[in-house]
Structure 1
Amino acid sequence: MNLRCLIIDDEQAALNVLTNYIAKTPFLELTGAYLDPIQALEIIYTQPVDLIFLDIHMPELSGLEFIKLLRGRAKVILTTAYSQYALEGYELDVVDYLLKPVPFDRFLRAVQKAKDALTTKEETSVLPVTVATVPTVTASDYVFIKVDSKIMKVRFDDILYIEGLGNYVSIYTKTGRLVTLSTMKEVEEYLSESYFTRIHRSYIIALNQVEYVEGNQIFLNKNTAVPLGETYREKFFKLLEENMMNKK
């Protein structure tokens, strides 16, 4: 299998070295090299990437912070001139840790480890799944989203509803509206069905924010109503019945 690779480093010389190494390796395919980690994050959210070569020391967003925002979307090989972050990197489940300047033979060993790990994951993914677990959401759960040039922390219990806008979503919270580059499908992956549900092709709501339902409108407060799509109607009312006192 070929691995789609992306390089993130705030030094052009480091990008050049790794670009050259990738070109020499038959099973690697370079999809992009970025000096700006935030720009790279936008790309990762919109197209598939298997392996990321990631510098640790970057001005806007450190490599370790970047890994937390990835949420397992790709395997990571850290590249840095500092050895003291190796332990923390492995705690974040990175494939390998390369010290600059990176020798080509050491680079090859690291990418082979990544290929082996991804091959094993691919083989495991075709096995039948017998038990599925749903992540629980607590008041301390949150997600980081990019809004303009900022990366913002949004707590799940602050979210009222989410509206899809093509390749963007609007997240309406108790304090305002945030727009970020994402799709409704991607957003659903982060949210527990116990707390959030899709009620329209363009809307996801927080169940605990529902005040009342009238016709095909769901009211989240006195001034906010969102449409209930016909496709999602049956599932939504089943969720309501679970907490309905007079079910007759």
Structure 2
Amino acid sequence: MHPLNCLLVDDEPAALDILTHYVNQTPFLKLAGRCLGPIEALQKVYSEPIDLIFLDIHMPELSGLDFIKVLNGRAKVILTTAYSQYALEGYEYNVVDYLLKPVAFDRFLKAAQKALDQRSPLTPPTPTVPTQPAEEDYIFVKADNRTQRITLSDIQYVEGLGNYVSIYTDQGRVVTLLTMKEVEERLPERRFMRIHRSYLIALDRLQYIEGNEVFLDKKTAIPLGETYREKFFKALESKTLNKR
């Protein structure tokens, strides 16, 4: 049986060091990574296979319990915290176990064994043919002194403002410290396209094209940059009926 790939998430480096030592002493655990924050951890979970997460409850940006909601069952979770009053709430999120800091090795080992026992015996073998990872349906951005989740289907378009961007959604506008290039790299290409040096649109919001403008509705007109015209119209070819 393959060891469980473990991710350690805690904003205290000393706590990470203790857990790292424990993982290295446990034959059926394999350290996949250490993260000081929840956003970094989510990116790792969605980019590589993680079986088990040792997760601190109190962290900046996103609490451990909110992290579990976003995680949506992608990995098993063992909570770690210095506050015993959160144990009951933690179990309501179907976590494997709850470790109270400072964590003793025997208690750590018992929790890890529970996670191993819960591993499904019906887990299929690793496929020999590479498969595409599931596409995320949201992103996180920092705005107004908090980390905000934005659902991709809510995004209408993005406007570049130098080192900032305005993300226009069905719920309103979100301004964040990102460049257009960074946003373009984070959004799936099949759903979003850059059509101007300062604009990127959600393709499913496109209503019609008139001259050098792309309309997302009757009031929202986005300029179509000359540099981006050829790629834009080529992307629309497969969806255009009367091409003559």
Separation in 1, partners of 2:94, 2:125:
18
Partner residue in 2 for 1:175:
173
User: Taking structure 1 as reference, are residues 91 and 19 closer, same or farther at Cα in structure 2, changes over 3 Å only?
Assistant: same
Matching of residues 36-75 of structure 1 within 5 Å: 36-75=37-76
User: Which segments of 5 or more consecutive residues in structure 2 lack a partner in the other structure?
Assistant: 128-136, 159-165
TM-score if structure 2 supplies the norm length?
0.62
User: Taking structure 1 as reference, are residues 48 and 237 closer, same or farther at Cα in structure 2, changes over 3 Å only?
Assistant: farther
Separation in 1, partners of 2:94, 2:151:
25
Partner residue in 2 for 1:246:
none
User: Taking structure 1 as reference, are residues 12 and 125 closer, same or farther at Cα in structure 2, changes over 3 Å only?
Assistant: closer
Instruction: Indicate if the aligned counterparts of 1:6 and 1:51 stay in contact, CA closer than 8 A.
Output: yes
Matching of residue 145 in structure 1 with residue 170 in structure 2: no
SS at match of 2:77: strand
Partner residue in 1 for 2:221:
222
User: Taking structure 1 as reference, are residues 237 and 97 closer, same or farther at Cα in structure 2, changes over 3 Å only?
Assistant: farther
Separation in 2, partners of 1:206, 1:120:
42
Sequence identity (%): 49
| 1:90 maps to amino acid | Y
- Alignment deviations for residues 30-62 of structure 1 (CA, whole Å, 9 cap, x no partner): 122233334333433433322111111224432
Separation in 2, partners of 1:228, 1:125:
40
- Alignment deviations for residues 1-39 of structure 1 (CA, whole Å, 9 cap, x no partner): 222212122333322221111011112111222333343
SS at match of 1:46: coil
Separation in 2, partners of 1:121, 1:204:
43
User: Which segments of 5 or more consecutive residues in structure 1 lack a partner in the other structure?
Assistant: 127-141, 163-169, 189-196, 239-248
Instruction: Tell me the number of residue pairs that the alignment of Structure 1 and Structure 2 aligns.
Output: 205
Matching of residue 205 in structure 1 with residue 202 in structure 2: yes
Separation in 1, partners of 2:60, 2:103:
21
Instruction: Indicate if the aligned counterparts of 2:214 and 2:222 stay in contact, CA closer than 8 A.
Output: no
Partner residue in 2 for 1:131:
none
Separation in 2, partners of 1:19, 1:199:
40
1:156 offset after TM fit, Å?
5.7
Instruction: Indicate if the aligned counterparts of 1:199 and 1:229 stay in contact, CA closer than 8 A.
Output: no
Matching of residues 40-189 of structure 1 within 5 Å: 40-120=41-121, 122-123=123-124, 143=138, 145-147=140-142, 150-154=146-150, 158-161=154-157, 173=169, 175=173, 183-184=186-187
- Alignment deviations for residues 158-207 of structure 1 (CA, whole Å, 9 cap, x no partner): 41158xxxxxxx9653636765787556xx9xxxxxxxx74879998364
Separation in 2, partners of 1:12, 1:223:
47
Separation in 1, partners of 2:73, 2:20:
23
SS at match of 1:41: helix
SS at match of 1:76: strand
Instruction: Indicate if the aligned counterparts of 1:199 and 1:228 stay in contact, CA closer than 8 A.
Output: no
| 2:221 maps to amino acid | K
Separation in 2, partners of 1:222, 1:201:
14
| 1:12 maps to amino acid | P
User: Taking structure 1 as reference, are residues 159 and 36 closer, same or farther at Cα in structure 2, changes over 3 Å only?
Assistant: closer
| 2:206 maps to amino acid | V
SS at match of 1:5: strand
Partner residue in 1 for 2:32:
31
Which range is displaced more, 113-122 or 72-81?
Answer: 113-122
Instruction: Indicate if the aligned counterparts of 1:6 and 1:30 stay in contact, CA closer than 8 A.
Output: yes
Separation in 2, partners of 1:50, 1:79:
17
1:211 offset after TM fit, Å?
1.8
